[in-house]
Amino acid sequence: MNISTVNSNDIKVRPIDNMLKYNGRYGEYGGAYIPDVLAVPLQKLSEAFDYFSRDPEFRAEFSNILRDYAGRPSPLYFAQKLSKHIGSTLYLKREDLNHTGSHKINNTLGQALIAKRMGAKEIVAETGAGQHGVATATAAALMGIPCKIFMGAVDARRQALNVKRIQLLGAEVITTTRGTATLKDAVDEALNYYISHPDVFYLLGSQVGPDPYPRMVGFFQSVIGQEARAQILMKEGRLPDAVIAAVGGGSNAIGLFSGFLEDHEVKIYGAEGGGDALPGKTAATLTFGKPMIFQGTYSYCLTNDEGQPVESHSVAAGLDYPGVSPQHAFLKDSKRAQYFAVTDKEAIEAFHLLSQLEGIIPAIESSHAVALAIRLLRNQNLLAIVNLSGRGDKDVDRDF
Ligand SMILES: *Cc1c(COP(=O)(O)O)cnc(C)c1O
């Protein structure tokens, strides 16, 4: 996905932990494992984030944009028919109703606002299915900063509508034909561009990559959990028994979970893209992977028998990533959260079920969280919040 695969042999990769003033670790996970040339730009970014995330003026501007531009707060919706069907009380956190159709806008608006405050002349990002590209191009347009989106040529052909959207928003789409011309190759291309132009702002789309990205993305997405906690207290007068979200890189999930981490009576469940739920045919990194340094951070990663990172497999493009957030790695090991591989089949069933029962077509990514809720809460008579991370418009012409 992101700050990543330094495949050029002459770039020396080293940890910069001793340079970091701030805590980029979640237990033993996290940190920043990066080529020398990125040490200074990431240090500057870290300092800027640390400053602005505490600055009342910045926080007020971010809240105003989230409200008036992105449409927050997103509703917490009592899914009555789904609840009856399952035998537990389910609320859906409606991130699908945000501008551009998912939680991704919370993060791109936050980072683009930092880019503007830092005086960035250009924003760059990579995208696979195009969702992060659209959200980034949107935020860049709003801030008036030129934007380049790197995309594999194969993905660009498959996602022609999102390419068009990005271009309409005034950003430049740069396609690459290297490798398999998909996400990983777009990452390589974007990273090479960043390495040769370290003054640009690299806008990362999930809670992955080197410090300060996981902290920063977690901070901007935490609005989900803050709202959900206040909303459930208003509606039910108590905290939920469980909160559930889909985990790709981990950003929508940490956004919801962070509102409840200190409430130890609330169980926390993450739904990974299980694919066929078999090693080699899955994107369930926390379930099937092991800890290693990958794409700038120390976290779980899917590997082959030789311990090399492998391609992941999931029906959901947004979950199809062999790495995962270092914070989720920590939450798993510390047992504060539990992660489950949800199969393609289960997710597709939940996709249809929610569409028909509630009149809400969920993103296939979010359908994994709905499917996990069905699996864990059936006839339990429990109260739970499921993060509906995005809408399913993009998935309607898939054959499932
Ligand atoms: C990108 C995406 C995801 C996965 O990304 P996270 O960083 O794990 O949240 C999940 N749902 C939707 C709708 C997405 O677009």
Give tens-digit pLDDT for 300-332. Answer: 999 999 999 898 999 999 999 999 999 999 999
CA distance readout (Å), 68 to 61, 73, 376: 11, 10, 36
State the pLDDT confidence band at 21, using cuts at 50, 70 and 90: very low
Mean predicted confidence (pLDDT) in 176-187: 87
Q: What is the pLDDT of residues 268-294, one digit of tens each?
A: 999 999 999 888 899 999 999 999 999
Is the minimum distance from the CB of 214 to ligand 1 under 6 angstroms? Answer: no
Catalytic: 126?
A: yes
Q: What domains are defined for the chain?
A: 35-69+104-218 (3.40.50.1100), 71-101+221-395 (3.40.50.1100)
| Average pLDDT score over residue span 348-367 | 98
Residue 20 pLDDT exceeds 60: no
Asked if the model's pLDDT at residue 13 lies above 90, the reply is no
Distance 226 CA to ligand 1 centre (A): 19
Quick check: 2 pLDDT over 50? no
What are the angstrom distances between the C-alpha of 344 and each of 281, 294, 317, 392?
11, 25, 11, 15
Any bridge partners for residue 365, and if so which?
Answer: none
Write the DSSP assignment of 62-91 as a string of letters.
Answer: HHHHIIIII-PSPPEEE-HHHHHHHTSEEE
Q: What is the mean pLDDT of residues 183-193?
A: 88
pLDDT digits (tens, 9 = 90+) for 198-248: 899 999 999 999 999 999 999 999 999 999 999 999 999 999 999 999 999
Q: Which of 325, 366, 389, 394 is catalytic?
A: 389
Nearest CA to ligand 1 atom 3: 318
Active-site residue flag, 93: no
CA-CA distance, 355 to 11, in Å (whole number)?
Answer: 49
Confidence of residue 395 (pLDDT cuts 50, 70, 90): very high
8 pLDDT band, cuts 50/70/90, is very low
Average of per-residue pLDDT across 64-93: 98
CB neighbours of 138 closer than 8 A, spacing ≥ 6? 99, 100, 105, 108, 169
Quick one: average pLDDT of 166-189? 91
Give the model's pLDDT for residue 182: 83
User: Is position 74 annotated as part of the catalytic site?
Assistant: no
- Other beta carbons within 10 angstroms of residue 64's beta carbon come to 10
4 has pLDDT over 70: no
Cβ of residue 252 lying under 6 Å from some atom of ligand 1: yes
> 246 with 257: CB under 8 angstroms?
no
Residue 12: per-residue pLDDT: 55
Segment among 18-22, 254-258, 339-343, 382-386 with least mean pLDDT: 18-22
Q: What's the rounded mean pLDDT across residues 130-146?
A: 97
A 10 A CB-CB count for 4 gives 22
Rounded mean pLDDT of the chain?
93
For the Cβ of 248 lying below 6 angstroms from any atom of ligand 1, the answer is yes
The reported pTM is: 0.94
More confident residue, 195 or 13: 195
* Contact in structure between 315 and 366 (CB atoms under 8 Å): no
361-to-130, 194, 274, 275, 369 alpha-carbon distances in Å = 19, 37, 21, 20, 14
Give 14's DSSP letter: E
Among candidate residues 4, 46, 126, 394, the one labeled active-site is 126
State the pLDDT at residue 280.
86
97 — phi, psi (to 5°)?
Answer: -90, -5
> What are the E-state strand segments in the chain?
13-15, 25-26, 29-30, 33-35, 76-78, 89-94, 123-127, 147-152, 172-176, 201-202, 242-247, 267-275, 290-294, 297-301, 338-343, 383-388
Coil vs helix vs strand at 149: strand
336-353 average pLDDT score: 98
Position 158 scores a pLDDT of 86
- Highest average pLDDT, of 154-163, 181-190, 285-294, comes from 285-294
Q: How far is the CA of 235 from the centre of ligand 1 (A)?
A: 27
The percentage of residues in the chain with a pLDDT greater than 90, rounded to a whole number, is: 84
Which of 1, 165, 247, 365, when mutated, tests ligand 1's pocket best, judged by the most ligand atoms within 8 Å of its CB?
Answer: 365
Determine the average pLDDT of the residues in 34-45.
Answer: 92
Q: How do residues 287-303 score in pLDDT, each as one tens digit?
A: 999 999 998 999 999 99
Please give the distance, rounded to the nearest whole angstrom, from the Cα atom of residue 316 to the centre of ligand 1: 9
Closest C-alpha residue for ligand 1 atom 13 = 390
**From the CB of residue 150, how many other CB atoms can be counted at a distance below 10 Å?**
26
Catalytic residue among 93, 104, 184, 267: 104
Calculate mean pLDDT across residues 113-126: 97
Whole-angstrom Cα Rg for the chain: 19
